[in-house]
Structure 1
Amino acid sequence: MARTEYTVAQRSISALETGTSPLTGMAIGRVVALARALGWTLAEMQRATGVDLGIVDATLVGEGSADVYPLKAALTPDTPGPAVDHEAVMPGIGQPLLLRADTDEMQGTSPASIRPGDYLHIDRKQTTLDEGRVYVITDTDGVHVRLYTTTRLGSVFRAENRQYEDIPANEAHVIGLVAGVTSDYSPQLLN
């Protein structure tokens, strides 16, 4: 326990070990120092000792819960504005940004189809363009959700809904890769 000798006295550690002094009787600074010395977070200390320290486990964004913003929040991702209600979560995203689609640009019949109201799990770390992947992009007309592809005229961002024109890749700013889509859409299939 030498790592805590300057913050938590040896007699305090001995009192904890022998049970003569409870962990909850220590000042919070000393509890934090002890947890650090053991290589634990406070939540891990609480689980390991079984002592209720009043700590609620935090969940990393992208692995549990996160705020969801309207698609226009991609214009100012560092200050996205008010969040919208949601029940969408996706793990494994490096730099998450959750957006709700409010455009029919990508509504169609292919696997890349995205409906208005779907939740887009954006990875802002993924800005390298890959053929056939969907990205959130911005241009002078605003924010878009588009499929990156190469045509005989060059690289473009293409809408699934062909009512929208292609956006030349060199005229767009990539916000991030659409790493996943969640939806509460439930088609009413006829029997």
Structure 2
Amino acid sequence: MPRPRARANQKVIPKWAEALRERRIALGLSQEDITEKTADLVSQRSVSALETGSTPLSGMAIGRVVALARALGWTLAEMQRATGVDLGIAEASTVGEGSADVYPLSAALNPEKPGGAIDHEAVVPGVEQPLLLRADTDEMHGTTPASIRPGDYLHVDRAHTTLEEGRVYVVTDADGPHVRLYTTTRLGAVFRAENRQYEDIPAQEAQVVGLVAGVTSDYNPQLLN
């Protein structure tokens, strides 16, 4: 008896989508549970679309990817390994004695496994637990002494997470990593951007990665004589 043919239009579910679904089921979660755990950043319809491969994981905004990974109990690196989707996270390289590696700002999402290092010529001494990041954002680009240009190197001390008024910190929230100044307003403590196009982040909604203990830059303005 001839075997029934598969439907010509039957869609093949990608392995990365199957990995997401299997992880959710293994945790005993429904698609609605994932939506709740992501604070509605990833809707039930979006979860369904991801699990069927209709929506590519690599095409999601970083904040939504971070929220999804947390809902599934993964770090971004663990999600990358489980799904095989390149999320821009690489395994950490060993830091040699007397040297320090620099990482893109996205490494603040998983400081234990910051990914691939980038070239630099900057080292700031005296940091207890150093994490060197490159500022890939204009959040702190302004005119005050706290201004940090995109491309500047941030010397982050992960041992210093006690908040002090007027100090700059690397923090993360549901939208990803940020470089912000800690300050107290009449509405409460916030992490404020030098670039006022960005909204304040309430302090209770952010996780502190560490204090920006120093900033170095290869910026070389062409000044007129």
TM range (shorter): 0.5 to 0.7
Deviation at 1:88, TM superposition (A): 1.1
Show the counterpart of 1:98: 132
Show the counterpart of 2:181: 147
- Alignment RMSD (CA, Å): 1.3
Show the counterpart of 1:89: 123
Alignment-mate amino acid for residue 164 of structure 1: Y
Alignment-mate amino acid for residue 107 of structure 2: A
Unmatched tracts of structure 1, length 5 or more: 1-57
Unmatched tracts of structure 2, length 5 or more: 1-94
2:161 and 2:221 map into 1 onto residues whose CA distance is 32
Equivalent position SS for 2:221: coil
Alignment check: 8 A CA contact 1:65 1:88 kept: no
2:96 and 2:105 map into 1 onto residues whose CA distance is 24
- TM-score between the two structures when normalised by the length of structure 1: 0.67
Deviation at 1:188, TM superposition (A): 1.8
Show the counterpart of 1:160: 194
Q: Which has the larger radius of gyration?
A: 1
Alignment check: 8 A CA contact 1:139 1:173 kept: yes
1:183 aligns with 2:198: no
Show the counterpart of 1:110: 144
Equivalent position SS for 1:72: helix
Deviation at 1:65, TM superposition (A): 2.1
2:179 and 2:218 map into 1 onto residues whose CA distance is 19
Deviation at 1:59, TM superposition (A): 6.7
Structure 1 segment 26-175 matched on structure 2, within 5 A: 60=97, 64-175=98-209
Identity of aligned residues (%): 80
List structure 1 runs of 4+ shifted beyond 4 angstroms. none
- TM-score between the two structures when normalised by the length of structure 2: 0.57
